[in-house]
Amino acid sequence: MVPEILSLAIRIPMFKNKGSKAESANYRDEMIGALGSIVSWSSVSGSADDDWIDRVNHIWTVLLLALFAIVVTSGQYILGDAIQCWTPAEFTGQFNSYAKSICWISNTYYIPQGDVIPENIATRQDAEITYYQWVPIILLFQALMFKVPNIAWRLLNGYSGINMDKICTLSESTLMSSPDDRQKNISHIAKYMHRWIESQRDFHDNALVRMRRRVSSVIIFCLGKRDGTFLTGYYIFIKFLYAANVVGQFFLLNAFMATDYNVFGFEVLSYLFTNGEWTPSPRFPRVTLCDFVIRQLSNHHRYTVQCVLPLNLFNEKIFIFLWFWLFLMAFLTFFNFASWLYYTLFKENRTRYVKKYLNLCNEISTGFDKKLARKFADDYLRNDGIFVLRVIEKNSSGMVLADLVISLWKLFKEEYGTAKKPEVIDTEPVKNGKVNNDGYISKTPYDVS
């Protein structure tokens, strides 16, 4: 649905076609159809393998920018021509059309009404407004930049060996399932994750592998599939892209508008608090000046005309709203980025996260269970397993996650720890493992003695 809106914005002509009412009606019907599809939740909900901040960035912001592009490019159908110029009396017919066209494509410049028009041509060129022809293009480019991190995430997260979108969707579907279907789905997800965890484990043991594990345990950005850090490190990188993109948007608009756009919102607030009402900003002037030269044989005639830019009525309000939206997005994105860094960089958070759900279901009752829970989090699930659980929780509920953690916990204990009768401990050796003092057999690679 997003590509449909983007393509619609691109196909809108830059000037109003006065000669075809049918084409105008067709355009109106297409635009209404595209905008009407926005209300469909399935069209904008996106994938389920990220969190809500990601979706605000790559879905809602993209839709918002695409909508603004449509508003700007269709504004001429409401306001008439994109530019109107006051021309000398001798200009009639084609002369007026030429003046409007040349002023639109060659930029206009803004001199306040109370100021004298400077004689110096270079001074006039320094005051040129260069953005108004390209507003739809820059809005669509901004939309693309907000979508790029999500595209990068969708392209490469499957390299980890797990289908994040499918597993999160299945987890979400269990919320409204019957008890039998719910347990079946949870069991299926747990066994799927168990096979994935085991398939990604590195069973080689040498000096190089041990050194790599040690580095990966400290620096998750090594993106090691076998070390359980690929998904986590890559997602942190995607989070960094979202944060960098939001900041980069301010620099992009600074360069595009040739003004200090990054302080525009503060200027608006300051002016409103001081004067109580808003007046047109010189950043988006409605009335501008235009210079052009007409050659007649060997003579050059230079004209200066006054023009009106009706589209700046839309541009000003759009870019004011966009500044506050980007400011809000920057705050939320950086806070979310810092939260994920905190969750992943500190090892204790993994154990605490798992123990929360194990305690909730009364699965930890002895000191050995606490030790086993630490091994469950640090050596079995590792960074990537905990990351998958966090994403599932954000896209379903804590109730679903609690059931999933318990299922994984039971699979872990069945595979690597079994209860034995106390008398067996002293009389019967254990093959491929050793007996702990608490009466459990601990098999490699999770030795909890």
Do strands 84-86 and 108-109 pair parallel, antiparallel, or not at all (unpaired)?
unpaired
Residue 372, Cα to own-chain centre: how many angstroms? 38
Phi and psi at residue 323, in whole multiples of 5°? -60, -50
Instruction: Report the alpha-carbon distance of residue 314 to residue 425 in Å, rounded.
Output: 80
pTM for the full model? Answer: 0.78
Q: Residue 280: helix, strand or coil by DSSP?
A: coil
pLDDT at 420: 41
Instruction: Report the alpha-carbon distance of residue 168 to residue 163 in Å, rounded.
Output: 9
Residue 348: closest CA among 385, 391, 370, 377: 377
pLDDT at 19: 44
Residue 195: closest CA among 433, 431, 385: 385
179: exposed, middle or buried (C-beta count within 10 Å: 0-12, 13-18, 19+)?
Answer: exposed
The shares of helix, strand and coil residues in the chain, as percent rounded to the nearest 5, are: 65, 10, 25
Name the amino acid, one letter, at 272: L
**Residue 115: strand pairing partners:** none
Task: Specify the long-range contacts of residues 31-40, CB closer than 8 Å, at least 24 apart.
Answer: 31/70, 31/74, 34/1, 34/4, 34/5, 34/8, 34/70, 35/5, 35/67, 35/70, 37/1, 37/4, 38/1, 38/5, 38/63, 38/67, 40/1
Residue 425, Cα to own-chain centre: how many angstroms? 56
CB distance 188 to 170 below 8 Å: yes
Instruction: Report the alpha-carbon distance of residue 144 to residue 153 in Å, rounded.
Output: 15
Residue 149, Cα to own-chain centre: how many angstroms? 6
* pLDDT mean by block of 10 residues, the chain; 449 residues: 47 43 51 46 59 93 94 74 83 85 87 85 85 89 95 86 86 83 90 88 63 58 67 92 95 86 86 79 87 81 88 88 95 95 88 90 84 89 91 88 92 70 38 43 49
- Whether the bond between 149 and the residue before it is cis, its omega within 30 degrees of 0, is no
Instruction: Report the alpha-carbon distance of residue 442 to residue 449 in Å, rounded.
Output: 8
Q: Residue 170: helix, strand or coil by DSSP?
A: helix
pLDDT at 386: 92
pLDDT at 12: 44
Q: At what angle do helices 2-11 and 135-156 cross, to 10 degrees?
A: 150
The angle at the Cα of 338, spanning 243 to 261, to the nearest 5 degrees, equals: 35
166: exposed, middle or buried (C-beta count within 10 Å: 0-12, 13-18, 19+)?
Answer: middle
pLDDT at 219: 55
Instruction: Give the C-alpha distances (Å, rounded to integers) separating 162 from 25, 64, 166, 172, 306.
Output: 48, 32, 9, 17, 63
| C-alpha neighbours within 13 Å on the C-beta side of residue 41 | 0
